[in-house]
Amino acid sequence: MSVTPKKGLGQHFLVDENILGVIGRLAELDAGDVVLEVGPGLGVLTRYLAERVARVHAVEVDTSLEPHLRDSGVELHFGDALQLDLRALAPNATKLVANLPYNIATPLIVESLDGLPELELWCVMVQREVADRLFAEPSTKAYGAVSVLVQLVTERTGFHPVSRTVFRPPPNVDSALVAFRRTGLPDDYARVKQVVGAAFAHRRKTLPNSLALSGLASRERAATALETIGREAATRAEALSPPEFVALTEALS
């Protein structure tokens, strides 16, 4: 049955099975695993996972793909992954293994860090730009809020560039597989997340100005907090390392 990928859903179906072995290795698949897959598409990865782990919860927004997924041997859930309660839907999932739709990859990863606390390992196919951003170094162009949050909660365990030819249709951007393992949530993570978001909301501004514009703290209070952690008031968000954001949050409190 022919399927026309929907551009509005960011669909680029995985069709080359040669990449599956790399995914299996980076995901450290085990027979006892319960895996969450978001965006199964035509089910190439879905069936591979189903043959190797105890259970797969596959979440797909496009109901027209149901015939391709019906006999894959997994638990199918139809709906928007950003709107569904994924923790209730897949309560025992300890791994997220997926070819993530480009238009939801970053918010899904960020929300899964604390929204899915049982997840121990992520192995996701994303745009190369997104993959590079996740573990970017401070003071680089790629470094941003998502870099800080992902690095505060996880450590990277694997990386593999992916050819455009493994997808149908081939995307106009490069992709990569990136794997990372949970190391733990910092104390008061919700507050840290709020500070990080506000800090990068006005990237060209100094940190005190950005936090003040976001309504999180007065400029004076933010400048004092920066001084407490050994940073000047003229510091911008991209200069701070992930642990420094934890220290900044504590100083602001």
Under a CB-based contact definition with an 8 Å cutoff, are residues 119 and 108 in contact?
Answer: no
Report residue 179 as tokens: 């794997």
pLDDT at 163: 86
1 pLDDT above the threshold of 80 = no
pLDDT at 212: 97
Under a CB-based contact definition with an 8 Å cutoff, are residues 38 and 81 in contact?
Answer: yes
CB contact set of 54 (below 8 Å; sequence gap of 6+): 31, 32, 33, 34
Mean pLDDT for the chain overall:
93
pLDDT at 11: 54
Radius of gyration of the CA atoms of the chain, in A: 20
CB contact set of 101 (below 8 Å; sequence gap of 6+): 9, 10, 11, 38, 39, 61
Q: How far apart are CA 217 and CA 210, in angstroms?
A: 9
Under a CB-based contact definition with an 8 Å cutoff, are residues 61 and 78 in contact?
Answer: yes
Q: What is the pTM of this model?
A: 0.92
pLDDT at 54: 97
9 pLDDT above the threshold of 70 = no
In the chain, the domains with their CATH numbers are 7-182 (3.40.50.150), 189-252 (1.10.8.100)
H-helix or E-strand spanning residue 34: strand 34-38
pLDDT at 34: 98
Lowest mean pLDDT among 7-16, 133-142, 230-239: 7-16
Under a CB-based contact definition with an 8 Å cutoff, are residues 90 and 64 in contact?
Answer: no
The rounded Cα 108 to chain-centroid distance in angstroms is: 5
pLDDT at 170: 67
pLDDT in tens, 172-204: 788 999 999 999 999 999 999 999 999 999 989
pLDDT in tens, 62-103: 998 899 898 889 999 999 999 999 999 999 999 999 999 888
Q: What percent of the chain has pLDDT over 90?
A: 81
pLDDT at 107: 98
Q: How confident is the model at residue 17 (pLDDT cuts 50, 70, 90)?
A: confident
H-helix or E-strand spanning residue 128: helix 128-134
Among 210, 192, 199, 195, smallest CA distance to 237 is for 199
207 pLDDT above the threshold of 70 = yes
